[in-house]
Structure 1
Amino acid sequence: MGAEVKIWNPVEVAEQARKDYATQIHSSQLVIDPSLSFSQMKPLVIKLCKDMFKDWSNLDDSCFEVDKISGGITNLLLKVTVKNGSSVDDTVTIRLYGPNTEYIIDRHRELQATKYITSAGFGAKWLGIFGNGMVQSFINAHTLSPSDMREPKMAAKIARALRRFHHVEVPGSREPQLWNDVWKFFETASTLKFDDSEKKNAYETISFKEVHDEIVELQEVTESLNSPVIFSHNDLLSGNIMVNEEEDKVYIIDYEYASYNYRGFDIGNHFAEYAGFDCDYDLYPNMNQQYHFFRHYIQPDRPNEVSDKDLETFYVEANAYALASHLSWSLWGLIQARMSPIDFDYLGYFFLRYNEYKRRKEGFLSMARSYIAAGKNK
């Protein structure tokens, strides 16, 4: 049931991308250490911009203004504004990959996805690739919070945007990646070694035999739902959704985990993110909130005409696959607890997600099994 664990060397991936897309994007082999202080990082960012963009190569360093946009639990996002003497300043965003994320993210897959997603008009325009990150155009929009995402009008906008996203065509294998990724995470997570005694003791309380059996059971049930395979974002949390209020436009950004996958997973994973990083699962959407989302996803122009049958299908799919989201991200948290230098309680995150999986399991799986049985009896 397992999958080979491959470690993706970001510099090698960047070099391959440079060869693949040499005529379409700018490139540099420079690497910026994301653990540096911002003051240490700033001159390196300016050097990168000069190396990557010829029009900026002879500008004085004073022409570059570097700001930190956000520092999540995976990446660091920077904004660079360049005053080049024209009436309009140039602005780009630079995304630095988090340390050791090559253990959990297939960078080849990400870059392939980014090329076609941005070409389809989603997110920022892809401008360049460097040793451990990428450069994109600046989006004049603000990032949502979990509370923004739950607001009914915004939920409807997100549903419509996600429907469009699911119609993006990306060449290559259309095999759903969920269970390949889950088993890859499982194999890595179940063989970790911790030096920190507190983390070691907490890790040793985990029964990986139990986790293994849960994955097997959930995979069997969800695959019986026959959820359509679409091109999926797979990480639609509030931080990956931006909105320009004046233009009334929703941007879906960051495609590190994007792949072909089950429709139910992308939606169920999104619903799980209503809880935010605080994991307040009392905020998980109820049936009425989910139906509101489904109506605008299924028939954006006539949401009130969606059939009860379609609503039931989506409801069963989304909630069953929300369980898969909890399993997947809980294992991800374990790997990050060992590999990431970022100050975040990844080990605690494992227990929050896994405990929520166990809390919801009986209700969601019973509903899925009843739905499957009813379909077989027709």
Structure 2
Amino acid sequence: MVIKTMNSLIPSCSSPEDLKRVLQTLGSSWGDVVEDLERLEVIPLKGAMTNEVYQINWPTLNGEDVHRKVLVRIYGDGVDLFFNRDDEIKTFECMSHHGYGPKLLGRFSDGRLEEFIHARTLSADDLRVEETSNLIAAKLREFHKLDMPGPKKVLLWERLRTWLKEARNLATPIEQEEFCLEAIEGEIDFLEMNITWADQEIGFCHNDLQYGNIMIDEETNAITIIDYEYSSFNPIAYDIANHFCEMAANYHTDTPHVLDYTLYPGKEERRRFITKYLGSTGDATSEEEVDRLLDDVERYSLTNHIFWGLWGIISGHVNKIEFDYMEYARQRFDQYWLRKILLLDLPYRDSVNKDDSL
């Protein structure tokens, strides 16, 4: 559709004039696009749950059929409860500087413009294609090895406790009881004590590696990981666990909040991914090393369910994107209690206290 006014261009943008100025500045630097912003074509991109994302097709002076493409990201309501936006922008710029992900083209008060990557965003089904999954495993290993600025400190436990506090502040008494929020602090303590140890590998983790944050160039098979809002240093086992948990989701259906845990990868599929992940650097990998990471990933899946369960409760109160956050949170916590019982049978290694593990 062709947009008539700037206000209708991005309906939820609270500062259309700011966006217009950024677009005009960008257009002037390019010099080959039409000046009339009314002729921009705007396409909402589905599947985003933290922000709203739009593709803009910008006609050039070379003809109506020739366009430059830009991605506009409108920050979701209340997202500052989840991460520091300035830190996220620094990460974005650092990643871009090192040749990862899109370039930052401009910022306005409640969003930003990004380079449009000419690659295909993966679908839920793509994660189950062995060749594609192997590419993701290798790329994730590369991502974890990035030497990002700042302290190499695990953020997971601090973030879980901060989000729990926010969830308690926002939840109604009925929700507090339904989600057993009074018990969750003890569960976080239990997990930190039992799955944290001195020799765990820490890396720069994406923390939200769902299929919509992975793109593939179908000519070169190059994988690009995008959207770094939740990125931080964490145990690599946590990030891999997050990726496996996301295989239960399909955010491009009529019920995007519904999770199907029958789609969670089986042991052999998980082993194949981890073997490819560890072996992608060319170093020799032992079966013992694979088995150890395989078990660690399963344990960290428990923290992943709490993480996104709390995210769902908070988002349900602050975010206006059309998504049933509370039902999503309910499924995550249900899965946590179910999986905790099953995973207690895994042999635990000697745990260490939190300070020794950082």
* TM-score category (smaller protein): 0.7 to 0.9
Cα offset, 1:81, TM superposition: 2.4
Q: Measure, in 1, the Cα distance between the counterparts of 2:143 and 2:215.
A: 14
Cα offset, 1:105, TM superposition: 2.3
Q: Measure, in 1, the Cα distance between the counterparts of 2:81 and 2:322.
A: 18
- Which deviations, in whole Å up to 9, do the C-alpha atoms of 1:202-259 show, x marking residues without a partner? 4433322211111110111121374211111010011111112122111100000011
Q: What does 1:212-227 correspond to in 2, within 5 Å? A: 212-224=185-197, 226-227=199-200
Is residue 2:327 matched to residue 1:343?
no
- Residues 34 and 76 in structure 1, CA contact (< 8 A), matched pair in contact too: no
**TM-score of the two chains, using structure 2 as the length reference:** 0.85
- Residues 268 and 325 in structure 1, CA contact (< 8 A), matched pair in contact too: yes
Is residue 2:123 matched to residue 1:108?
no
Give, as a single letter, the amino acid of the residue that structure 1 aligns with 2:170.
Answer: L
Residue of 273, 279, 289 corresponding to 1:293: 273
Q: Measure, in 2, the Cα distance between the counterparts of 1:71 and 1:280.
A: 17
Q: Which residue of 2 aligns with 1:90?
A: 68
Cα offset, 1:362, TM superposition: 2.8
Give, as a single letter, the amino acid of the residue that structure 2 aligns with 1:83.
Answer: P
**RMSD over aligned Cα atoms:** 2.8
- Counterpart secondary structure, 2:169: coil
- Which deviations, in whole Å up to 9, do the C-alpha atoms of 1:139-163 show, x marking residues without a partner? 1122212221122111101001101
Q: What does 1:1-378 correspond to in 2, within 5 Å? A: 36=11, 46-55=20-29, 59-70=35-46, 72-86=48-62, 89-194=67-172, 201-224=174-197, 226-276=199-249, 277-300=257-280, 306-369=285-348, 371-372=349-350
Give, as a single letter, the amino acid of the residue that structure 2 aligns with 1:274.
Answer: M
Unaligned runs of 5+ in 1: 1-30, 195-199, 374-378
Tell me: CA distance 1:143–1:340, structure 2 relative to 1, closer, same or farther (3 Å).
Answer: same
- Counterpart secondary structure, 1:275: coil
- Residues 59 and 84 in structure 1, CA contact (< 8 A), matched pair in contact too: no
Cα offset, 1:106, TM superposition: 1.6
**Which is further off, 53-62 or 263-272?**
53-62
- Which deviations, in whole Å up to 9, do the C-alpha atoms of 1:40-85 show, x marking residues without a partner? 9989855541145533698122553322223522111111222331
The count of residues paired between Structure 1 and Structure 2 equals 335
Q: Measure, in 2, the Cα distance between the counterparts of 1:111 and 1:69.
A: 21
Tell me: CA distance 1:109–1:271, structure 2 relative to 1, closer, same or farther (3 Å).
Answer: same
Q: Measure, in 1, the Cα distance between the counterparts of 2:166 and 2:119.
A: 37
Unaligned runs of 5+ in 2: 1-5, 250-256, 352-358
- Counterpart secondary structure, 1:366: coil
Q: Measure, in 1, the Cα distance between the counterparts of 2:164 and 2:136.
A: 31
Q: Measure, in 2, the Cα distance between the counterparts of 1:140 and 1:302.
A: 29
